[in-house]
Amino acid sequence: MYPSIQAKIWGNIGQVADLLDMVLDSFIKRSVTGGLGSIQAEIMADTAVALTSANVQLVSRKVIGRLCRVGGLF
């Protein structure tokens, strides 16, 4: 049931470009709070994949942009 919920809910949210910034910020904060390899980070990773499936280019562009800003590239 978990994969179905992920695909139906987060796949639809991934189609709403206006929500992506807020959702990705929340995912990143929650993952950092849990730490690398934590259950929270793994759930956020699974959910991010479902989110991305609806709009691969837009979500990828936003995630890469955030990584570049954090890494000091932009």
pLDDT, tens only, 18-56: 888 888 888 878 877 877 788 888 888 888 888 888 788
* One-letter amino acid for residue 5 of the chain: I
| pTM, two decimal places | 0.68
At residue 74, the pLDDT reads 55
Distance CA 74, CA 65 (A): 8
At residue 72, the pLDDT reads 65
Domain chopping of the chain, boundaries: 2-70
Q: Is the predicted pLDDT of residue 60 greater than 70, yes or no?
A: yes
DSSP category for residue 27 = H
Q: Is the predicted pLDDT of residue 73 greater than 60, yes or no?
A: no
DSSP category for residue 55 = -
Residues with Cβ within 8 Å of residue 23, at least 6 apart in sequence: 13, 51
